[in-house]
Amino acid sequence: MNRLPAWHKDFLRMLPTIRQVAHVSFRHLHGDAYDDAVEEVIANACVAYKRLVDLGKTDVAYPTVLARFAVAQQNDGRRVGTRQCVRDVLSPPSRKKERIVVERLDRFDDEEGEWVEAVVEDYRTPVAEQAAFRCDFPAWLGGQPKPKRRIAEALAVGLRNQEVARMFRLSRGRISQLRREFFDSWREFHGEVGAEVGAAPCRKRQVGEYVLSPPDRSTLDRIPMLEGTGNAPQR
């Protein structure tokens, strides 16, 4: 039976301190990103300590120094046992060098315990309109009162009136009423109110740094929370 090398026990004695430094350094991360960063620091510190053992310099191996070195390596995109392609836009070195920001298009809803897609793949709606919707919808949602915002999010992921009513302890009639209010609010957000009765033409809305035109009917139809308003097709 293979025995562990002597330095292994010495490293395990330093491990709690190294782990604590990693926890503090990456407390701003969440989920898998947090776990990966902490484990990468531990692996990096272990490799560094093994190198010091080989050089006979264990007298300068302090857990906090090893941990800070490993944290710096992780922040610089230097991983243990994994080569990074600088031409890969998703690799940490490339993102840091080119100042590329990568964001995920889903999020985890702690209350529902499930993943929520920010964008549902849609082959009917043009890509430009899908991109506009990604900018418009969060801006519109941010303008809703917090209680209504949560109801709108529940409807937006496709929950039925009955399910949302039970979730927020409201009547199904109230949820139907709110669904209609959301539809009217969405149209008003895009300046569409009055456009169908000969009022002034829809004007463009400025949201952040984007200037977006009102979406066509297909964009409105693919928002689940607008179903049942009489203005979107039923599933």
Task: Using pLDDT thresholds of 50, 70 and 90, give the confidence band for residue 86.
Answer: low
Mean pLDDT confidence for 44-64: 90
Q: Are residues 214 and 117 in the same domain?
A: yes
Q: Are residues 219 and 112 in the same domain?
A: yes
Residue 76: pLDDT over 70 = yes
Q: State residue 59's pLDDT score.
A: 85
- Would 163 be classed as within a structural domain? yes
Domain holding 214, by residue range, is 106-226
Percent of the chain with pLDDT over 70: 63
Counted domains in the chain: 2
pTM: 0.42
Q: Are residues 149 and 218 in the same domain?
A: yes
| Tokens 């800070």 found at | 68
- Would 231 be classed as within a structural domain? no
Residue 66: pLDDT over 90 = yes
Task: Using pLDDT thresholds of 50, 70 and 90, give the confidence band for residue 77.
Answer: confident
